[in-house]
Structure 1
Amino acid sequence: MADAIVIGAGVNGLVAANLLADARWDVIVCEAADEPGGACRSAEAVAPGYVTDLFSAFYPLTAASPVMRGLGLEEHGLRWSRAPSVLAHPTADGRCAVLSTDLDRTAESLASYAAADGPAWRALFDRWRTVREPLVEALVGVPFPPVRAGTRFARALGAAGTLRFARFATLPVRRFAEEEFAGDGAGLLLAGNALHTDLAPEAAGSALFGWLLTMLGQDVGYPVPTGGAGQLTAALVHRLRVRGGMVRTASPVAGVLVRDGQAQGVRLADGSTLRARRAVIADVNAVSLYRHLVAAEQLPARLLDDLARFHWDNSTFKVNWALRGPIPWSDPRCADAGTVHLGGTMDDLTLMSAQLACRTIPHDPFLVIGQMTTADPTRSPAGTESAWAYFHVPQEPRADAGGEQITGRWGPEDVARLADRAERRIERMAPGFRDRVVGRDVQSPLALQAANAALHRGALNGGTAGLHQQLMFRPVPGLGRPETPVRGLYLASMSAHPGGGVHGGPGAMAARVALRTAGTFGPVRRAAVRAAHARIYAP
């Protein structure tokens, strides 16, 4: 018997396990796959000597997260690398918006679109520096509601500034760019980063997401673990084992054991059971937890009804390449960027997003491209490039705007045609690209889910980033906290607040709430949560 059982060895599960182990709890992590890491893994999947990040790749949220910084993973082998430039967004007219950790370089790039935009970007970054610490703490560091961090944030801005920030947090990124900048460049950086989620340029709240990721890029860059994404997982696992925690791979959990409304442990797929004295922490998506791992009779009917309305984010299609040389960009400003966005103008991004909203596979998808050897020279032989591109497609496509009859069933023909579409998109901006391809590996939405069950049809964020499924609405209307209606069971995945991104927030919040509930005032906390759940989920 352990103090806690953690379901899933993704980053959130491993963060939770580490924090519990720090408190001297006996912890066992059960992972269904043959290796830990969830969506933080790497392998030589395309060609020997070329390291591919199989899922996530760039980690600005990790670098900024107080949760991750507090673990001291550098003491357990983690090293960071960065590309010379953070991000480039070229357009067909020969212009290119560049994001760099060098503020002067970013400002100069944006001033080439409109002279006033260089100073405007500096002013925007000054506002970021004013609120950075309390904002990041409020977003990923503490359970909802973030009272202390929120108070610090309000003090930093003052009453008037806080009110204006609240308005900004609801803005569509297109409107925000129009209000703040005279030219197009800054809007492309902001909108492209917002589209790392499923938020279109006209979506409420997209300004906040775009601003957060661009400001992090300006501040800490888009770092990558030296040697591959799996090195971040390796550091988390090593830290946990040093503290006595255990990771069991190839150990899929078939159900959560519940008795008298209290989580007692888990049942594994082989029929064996593991008992938990204090907590079960689930790093799985909310639908899997409530539909498959917990018996329906243990949950309020109202919760299950709300879960039927759970809104997934878009699916993801990813292509990985081994290249005999760097991507031959027509615009040299793309050559030293770790990340390149191919999406055209703001209007192009809007049209592409409209196709997704109509459940149509885009004819010209918005590509997020990773030049991994540019970011970390250890990823492939000297003079070559390990690269990938991903883009969004509907969860259940019903049409193909590209006219190639791609069905969305993701058979071999669908996969080959859509991968070719992505390559043609790159070829237009980098003539000769396809001649440099040594090998190609494609991860369709179904392949992503098969490799990591938490990624429902390739949904990378564990549910939409839309305002209707954030804070107290994530994953369903409730407390916005890791507690579930089953005592001692905590949700610690991207489906929980604060959502997707490798920042460790959901795992840390679940662990901290579990520790507090087991403490001196635990009975009071449990009673308060039970009373709140009774009101929220009353028939």
Structure 2
Amino acid sequence: MMRQTADAVVVGAGHNGLVAAAMLADAGWDVLVLEAQDEPGGAVKSASLFPGFVSDLYSAFYPLSVTSPALRAMNLEDHGLRWSHAPAVVGHARSPEDEEAPLIYRDVDRTIANLDPRDGGAWAGLFEQWQRIKDPLLSTLFSPFPPVRGPVGLLRRLGTAEALRLAHLLLLPAGVMAEKLFSGDEARLLLLGNAMHADVPIEAPGSAVMGYMLIMMAQDGGFPVPVGGAGQLTAALVNRARSAGAQIECGRRVDGIEVHGGRAVAVHTADGSVVRVRRAVVADTSAPRLLRDLLPEHAVPRGLLRSLDGFVWDTPVLKINYALDAPVPWRSKSLGEAGTVHLGADHHGLIRWMADLNTETIPERPFLLFGQMTTADPTRSPAGTESAWAYTHLPRGVSDDASADRLAEAVDRVLEEHAPGFGARVIGKTIQRPSDLEASDANLFAGAVNGGTSQLFQQLIFRPAPGFGRAETPVQNVYLGSAGATPGGGVHGICGRNAARAALAGAGARGWPRRRLAAALLSRVTR
């Protein structure tokens, strides 16, 4: 039986776990990362599913990665990472007959030329505001609760009145924001389609945040991809963590965390080994996995366990990977330039689609994201071909195989309507069902890719349960460093950074009072 000792054990080598490992190792800690799968990366991986083609298995475009202060601080370009861009960032076909779908380009004037003439000034003004406020706004959204520096920075740059107007705007339903800001369908649908990258209905309060951020990130820095596949982002993170001294071991599943006196003292693995912990455990696992399965029952307040009974996962994902022997034959030729394409629904169609998901109905006309990876990165497949994927959602709780096959057929119909002859160009196709996603990464429970719903009732101090909003847990030196913690899903590394910072603060003499206060607050609200 293998026995080891480490200052910190990071459970899971997803991107958040790797960020946390690098930061703790930078601080001089002896760090061991234990990953259940045979390779690191979590939901940031690529593979050769078809000869000569590289397919991203989960996440693919990374606007949050190039914006995130956590990943920017890693200097991943020094560790082998290179970025690539499609000629256009994202487009949204309004209907199958649309021959001039609007697109966002990284050149704001080119974007505006795509829009209804009435919306050019509004788009330009929104982008000018974004450039002024993006740093304090992202600091506000990415900080543990309560954020301090970000709101102060927003007040300084905007003044109280404009800051309040911005807060009100971001708390709107995306549908209301779109109508409030724009007059034409082009800009409205670009906002709504990007809002649907999260699982929040466009008529729900707070759904505007994702749409606003993504259209502005698309305009500002684009939706880049790693040259050579998503796995190259993971490779750079692995190189970064190891260069700092972190040890990463794959094929070692953690089965439990041993707790004595309110502190984690060891982790137990499926192979029967025990790793003693001197300082901290960072869990890059789902919140229910950490709080219900890994921690002993005596270490988690009963009130918190009851709260987890109401934990809501985001809707399951169905992903289809394609190899095409020629570019996609779009009706709207402009879509051939876009890395990301939104298909299948206008404003009312998006509402109907969400209604299907919420009533356990398999959508006949699903809204879908379509990725043209060779368009974004020519290394992904031979010249003149396209490595592509489609991504949509199933309702929660439906049967996996039959429902997934039926939805996959609907996806192919939507693609054929928007690109007649699409099917004839497909030379390879694989379907990743929700069960496939979970089997390859336990954090993707039932095909949920965001660590839990992004709706307001499970964000901020309610993520993953009322009383959180930070990486701290009821166990003094155990920290949640996954998308299950604030600020949630997306490849930004903030959850890992927040957990590492909390662990470093908690281990210092000045950190213990703050750590005891956080534990007391958690205990009070979960009692």
Whether TM-score is above 0.5 comes out as yes
In structure 2, the residue matched to 1:374 is 375
Q: Which of 10, 23, 38 is the aligned partner of 1:6? A: 10
1:329-408 equivalences under 5 Å are 329-397=330-398, 408=399
Matched residue SS, 2:102: strand
* 1:89-143 residue CA offsets vs partner (Å, 9 max, x unmatched): 11224241211111011111112xxx21111111111111121011112222x32
Match of 2:405 among 416, 421, 433: 416
User: Which residue number in structure 1 is paired with residue 240 of structure 2?
Assistant: 239
Q: 1:338-388 CA distances to partner (integer Å, 9 max, x unpaired)? A: 000003311111111111111212111111000000000000111110000
How many residues are matched? 521
Equivalent AA in structure 1 for residue 61 of structure 2: F
Structure-2 separation of matches of 1:409 and 1:48: 28
- Runs of 4+ in structure 1 over 6 Å off: none
1:122 counterpart (121, 124, 146):
124
Match of 1:98 among 90, 103, 112: 103
Cα deviation for residue 414 of structure 1 reads 4.1
Structure 2: runs of 5 or more not aligned: none
CA RMSD of aligned residues (A): 1.1
Give the Cα–Cα distance (whole angstroms) in 2 for the partners of residues 235 and 182 of structure 1. 43
- Please identify, of 349-358 and 493-502, the stretch whose mean Cα deviation from structure 2 is larger: 349-358
The question of 1:63 aligning with 2:66 is answered: yes
Q: Which moved more, 1:480-489 or 1:518-527?
A: 518-527
Mapped pair 1:54 → 2:57: yes
Aligned 8 A contact 2:487 2:495 in 1? yes
Partner of 2:495: 506
Tell me by how many angstroms 1:264 deviates.
1.3
Within-5 A mapping of 1:505-524 = 505-524=494-513
Offset, 1:245: 0.8
- How far the C-alpha of 1:250 sits from its partner, in A, is 0.3
Percent same amino acid at aligned positions? 51
- Is 2:80 the counterpart of 1:89? no
Q: How does 1:162-173 map to 2 (within 5 A)?
A: 162-173=163-174
Shift of residue 247, structure 1, vs aligned partner: 0.5
**Counterpart amino acid of residue 436 in structure 2:** A
Tell me, in whole angstroms, the C-alpha distance in 2 between the residues paired with 1:392 and 1:426.
Answer: 16
Read off the aligned partner of 1:529 and give its amino acid letter. Answer: A
Q: Does 1:19 align with 2:20?
A: no
Q: 1:488 aligns with which of 477, 480, 483?
A: 477
Matched, 1:72 2:75: yes
The residue that corresponds to 1:401 in the other structure is none
Q: Is 1:475 paired with 2:464?
A: yes
- Tell me, what secondary structure is at the counterpart of 2:341? strand
Residue pair 1:336, 1:374 contacting (<8 A) in 2 also: yes
Tell whether the 8 Å contact from 1:261 to 1:487 is kept in structure 2 after alignment. yes
Q: Which amino acid aligns with 1:283?
A: D
Q: Which amino acid aligns with 2:29?
A: W
Check whether the contact 1:316–1:445 (CA below 8 A) recurs between aligned residues.
Answer: yes
Say if 2:39 is the partner of 1:35: yes
- Alignment partner of 1:166: what SS? helix
1:477-498 Cα distance to aligned partner (Å, 9 max, x none): 0130000001100001101000
Name the CA distance, whole Å, in 1 between partners of 2:519 and 2:20.
23
Q: Which amino acid aligns with 1:304?
A: L
Decide whether the 8 Å contact of 1:5 with 1:27 is kept in 2.
yes
Question: Matched residues in 1 for 2:282 and 2:159: separation?
Answer: 38
User: Within 2, Cα distance between the matches of 1:501 and 1:512?
Assistant: 19
The alpha-carbon deviation at position 420 of structure 1 amounts to 2.2
What does 1:230-269 align with in structure 2 at a 5 Å threshold? 230-269=231-270
CA shift, 1:265, in A, is 2.3
Deviation at 1:522, TM superposition (A): 2.1
Change (3 A) 1:154 1:265: farther
Q: 2: CA distance between counterparts of 1:336 and 1:426?
A: 16
Once residues 292 and 458 of structure 2 are traced to their aligned partners in structure 1, the CA distance between those partners, rounded to angstroms, is 18
Give the drift of 1:82. Answer: 0.4
Residue type at the aligned position of 2:124 = R
Is the Cα–Cα contact under 8 Å of residues 394 and 404 in structure 2 kept in the other structure? no
Distance in 1 of aligned mates of 2:155 and 2:360: 40
Deviation at 1:533, TM superposition (A): 2.2
Counterpart of 1:192 in 2: which secondary structure?
helix
Q: Match for 1:425: what amino acid?
A: V
SS in 1 for 2:486: coil
Structure 1 residue matching 2:72: 3-state secondary structure: helix
Quote the Cα distance in structure 2 between the aligned partners of 1:508 and 1:260. Answer: 26
Tell me if structure 2 keeps the 8 A contact 1:265–1:275: yes
Which whole-Å CA distance do the structure 2 matches of 1:306 and 1:295 have between them? 17
Q: Which amino acid aligns with 2:119?
A: D
Q: Is the 8 A contact 1:482 1:491 kept in 2?
A: yes
Q: Which residue of the partner structure matches residue 215 of structure 1?
A: 216
For 1:530 and 1:334, how far apart are their aligned partners in 2?
Answer: 51
| Secondary structure in structure 2 of the residue aligned to 1:168 | helix
The answer as to whether partners of 1:173 and 1:187 remain within 8 angstroms in 2 is: no
Q: State the shift of 1:534 in Å.
A: 2.7
Q: Tell me the TM-score normalised to structure 2 length.
A: 0.97
CA distance, structure 2, for counterparts of residue 338 and residue 409 of structure 1: 29
